[in-house]
A and B are shown apart, each in its own frame.
Chain A
C-alpha cells in the first residue's frame, strides 16, 4: 500500500498505523454529501505512543462525565431525557429537543446554538437573520453560540456549502417552533384564542388589545420542553423581511478595532508557548535526538513521543530558540519521492482504476464535424489562510479544553480523543470565529500537538504554526489531470463527451451542456503530497478543463464561444446566468483591440449557477497578464444576504485568480520549495480586477450555499481570454506562473 494514497492520505511514515483511523466523515444524520468526499480525508500527522500505565490511567478511572460547565441556565447542560446539547456525546446526531438549539432568557435575549464555524463566510449573520425572521425578534436581541462542542448540538462540520441549505432551514424550524410555543403560552396566560395572537419584534400582541407580552416574560428563562417540528411551515422567501436583506456582519466593529479574539489571541493563566520540531523532509524518520542544549535553557520542556518532538517555553521566541537548539538526526526515505516534474505522469500511471471498459469513445467519421481530445492539469495549491493553524490547549485533570481554528469542531474532538487516548466526553473543543479556512482547516493537527505539549508541561500551551509550517505540513488542494474527448456535429451540436479526472476529484465533473450519454469518471491515484479539501473541491479543476475545452471547440468551429455554449445549453438556470453575465459585460460590444482579450465560462457547483466574463490585457514585452475586469452572474436560489453574497463572489474571484494565474506548490523529493509568501505568490491589491456581480434572486427556489461555487469560473474565463488575445491556448493551472511568452 502506498502511504501517500489519496484516501489514506498523507505523510504517514507507517501506513499500517492508520488502519484504525476512522474516516473523518462518519455516518451522520445528514445526507451523504458528494461522491468526492474522499477529498475531505487527510490522515493525522502524529501517532503518539501509548504506555500501558497511561492507557489504564485514562480508561481505568471510570467514565464519569464531568462537564466543564460554569454556565448560566441559558447555556447549562440540558437534563431532559438525555437530549439537549449533550446529544453530541452519545451518537453523532442532531438532537430534536428545542432546548438544545434555542434559549430565551428572562430579559428576552435569544440564544441559538449551532455547530457551524464562522470562518468569514458570515454564517453567524445568516443564522441571526434566520432567527430574526422566523421568531421574529429584533436582531440586537439574538446571540449565536457557534462551534463549542460542550454547548452546541453535534454537527458534521462546516464544508460542502451545507450551512445555507441545511443549517439555515434548521434554525428557521427551531425559531418557528419556539414562536408557536410562545403563542401557546400567551394564549394560555391571557386565556384567549391563539388564532388572535401575533408574534413580532420579540413580543406577542393581540388584535384590538393594547397588551403585549415579551418572549422573556413568557418563558421567564425556563426551557421550552418540546421538539423541533420538522414539518412546521416556514416564511416563504417572497415574504421575508430580514432574511433577504443586507444585514451587516455581526460584531463587525470588534474586527476593525482588533478586539475580536481569534484562536491565536486566546490567552490562559500560566500559558506557555509551544513549537514542534519538523522532519527534514516528508517521510523522514527520527534517528536520534540530543535535547541537552535545549533542556538546559531556562523554562524549557522538551517532549518526545514517538516521532513527535516539541518544546514548550515561556515565550514564542524562546520556544523557537529551543527547537533550533535540538540536535536531531533524520533518515530520509530510501527511495526518492515523486517531484513536481514527474507529477502528472505519476498521477496517470498510478491511477487506482482504469477508465471503465467501453468508456473511450471513438472519433467521429471524418467530414461530419470535429473531434477533440485534450489533456488539462492543475497544480497543488495551498489554502494559506492568513491566520495559520493554531490551538490553545488546557488540561484540568483529565479534562481537556482546546481552542482551535477548525471547520470541524466535533471532528477535531474525535481526533484529540483518539490521539490522546481519552474519551470524547473529556474533550471540549471551542472554535472562535476563525481567520478563514477555505477547506484547509478540516483537521486538528495544531490542536493535537498543543494538547500533547500541554499534557507534558502541566500548563496551558498555545501553538501557532509558522507560515512555513502552514505551507508545508497542512494539506494541499489536489493536483490533477483531466482528459476530455468530444465530438461536435457539423451543425454545432455536441454529440459525445467524455471527461476523466485523475486524482483531483469528482466535484463539478458532470457537464451542464446537453450531451446525452456523457461519460465522466474520477480515477483516484497516488498523491505524492498530503492533499485534502479546498474551496469548491475539484470543481475548479473540472470547470477549467471543461470550459477550456468548450472554448477550443468553438474556436475550431469558428463560432462565437457564447453562441456555441447557448446552442448546447437548455438548462434554464444556466442560460439565465450566462445571458445575464454576458449582457452586463457587453460581450458582443467589447472593442477588440490588440493585446486585449475576453473570455467567458459557465459553472454549476453545489446548487449554484454562475457565468464569468473576464477582460484581460497582455504586455508582450514583459510577458505580464493583467485581468482588468470581471463580470460574474450568480444564482443560488433565494438570496439571504445580498451584500454578503456579492462579497463571497468578489472574494472567490480574487482568490481564484491566484490559482488561475500564478499559485502553485513547488516540491522536490519530499520538500516544499516555496513555503513562504515571498516565494508563493498570492493575489494582492495590484492583481485585483474591477469586479461586477450580478445576482439573480430566485425567491421561488431554496437557497443553496455560495462559499464555493463562485470560485470555479474565473480560471477558464481568464484562460479563454488569453487565447482570445494571443491565440495561445494554455491548458495548465496556473496559467502564467512565469509570465507569458507571446
Chain B
C-alpha cells in the first residue's frame, strides 16, 4: 500500500504518513489538524470540502491524497495574506452572510477561486460557478452580494 509522507499546504511542507487512497479531506483534517475544511457529503455535491490545488478549486472529499503529489494545496486557513483576511472573507463578514457558517470555508474557497480566475464575474457567472456549494441556512443572496463586493474591493486595490 503506497504512502504519502509529505504535502505542500499553505506555503509549507507538512510531514505525514497516510495511506495514498485516503481522501485529502481526511488527511488535512485528522493528520494535519487543518479542520477548517469540512465534510458535508463525501460525493462532491456540497462544496464544504473545497480547497485549492495549484489554484484550482477541488473537492477534497473525492481527491485521493496520493494524487496530489508536490502540488500546492491551499486551505481556508491559508487564504488570508499577512494577517489580513481575504477580501471575500471580509466581505462575507461585512454583509453578515452566515448563520451556522458550516459552509463558510467552502464558500470562501470557491468564491476566492472564482475571483482569482475571473476578477469581474457577471451575476450569471457567479451563480454558475457557486452552484456546487450548498448553504442549508439559505444564505445565497448575501454570499452572492459578498462576492460582488469582494470583486469591487479587489479591483480597487489592484489599481
- Chain A, residue nearest B92 (CB): A256
Interface segment out of the listed A34-42, A261-269, A345-353: A261-269
Does B102 contact A262, Cβ atoms closer than 8 Å?
A: yes
Instruction: Evaluate contact between B98 and A255: CB separation under 8 angstroms.
Output: yes
Residue of A nearest to B100 (CB): A120
A464-B138 contact in complex given A257-B77, A258-B105, A387-B100, C-beta closer than 8 Å: no
**Of A104-112, A230-238, A617-625, A685-693, the one touching chain B:** A685-693
Which of B100, B143, B144 has the most chain A CB atoms closer than 10 A to its own CB? B100
Distance to closest chain A CB from B44 (angstroms): 9
Binds B, one of A144-152, A499-507, A652-660: A652-660
Across-interface contacts of B139 in A (CB, < 8 A) = 647, 650-651, 654
B134 CB–A CB distance under 8 Å: yes
Pairwise interchain contact B48-A386, C-beta atoms closer than 8 A: yes
Docked-complex contact A267 and B33, CB < 8 angstroms: yes
The reply on A472 being an interface residue by CB < 8 A is: no
Q: B98 to A258, Cβ gap below 8 A?
A: no
Q: Please state if A685 and B41 are interface contacts (CB–CB under 8 Å).
A: no
* Chain A positions 433 through 474: 1 when the CB is less than 8 Å from some CB of chain B, otherwise 0: 111101000000000000000000000000010110000000
| B60 contacts the other chain (CB 8 A) | no
Is A385 touching B136 in the complex (CB atoms < 8 A)? Answer: yes
Cα separation A678 to B61 with both chains bound (whole Å): 15
User: Given A122-B99, A255-B98, A644-B96, A683 and B41 touching (CB < 8 A)?
Assistant: no
- A670-694: which residues lie under 8 A (CB-CB) from chain B? 676-678, 682-686, 688, 690-691
User: What is the bound-complex CA distance between A612 and B64, given in angstroms?
Assistant: 46
Q: Mark B136-148, 1 if CB is under 8 A from A, else 0.
A: 1111111110000
- Is B7 positioned at the interface, with any CB of A under 8 Å from its CB? no
Distance of A444 Cα from B89 Cα, bound (Å): 33
Complex CA–CA separation, A252 to B90 (angstroms) = 10
Interface digits, A213-257 against B, CB 8 Å rule (1 contact, 0 not)?
Answer: 000000000000000000000000000000000101100110111
Taking the closest CB of chain B, its distance from the CB of A707, in whole angstroms, is 9
Contacts between the two chains (Cβ within 8 Å), count: 174
Contact A684 B100 (CB under 8 A): no
12 A-B pairs whose Cβ atoms sit less than 8 Å apart in the complex: A261-B35, A267-B33, A315-B22, A317-B19, A317-B21, A386-B135, A388-B40, A434-B100, A643-B96, A682-B134, A688-B141, A690-B141
Further 13 A-B residue pairs, CB within 8 A, beyond A121-B99, A264-B39:
A122-B99, A252-B93, A253-B85, A267-B35, A386-B40, A386-B135, A436-B100, A438-B136, A652-B138, A678-B43, A683-B140, A685-B130, A686-B127
Residues of A within 8 A of B (CB): 119-122, 246, 248-249, 252-253, 255-262, 264-265, 267, 273, 315-317, 384-388, 433-436, 438, 464, 466-467, 643-644, 647-648, 650-655, 676-678, 682-686, 688, 690-691
Would you list the 9 A-B pairs with minimal beta carbon distance, nearest first?
A: A258-B36, A120-B100, A654-B138, A435-B102, A120-B99, A651-B138, A255-B101, A677-B45, A265-B35
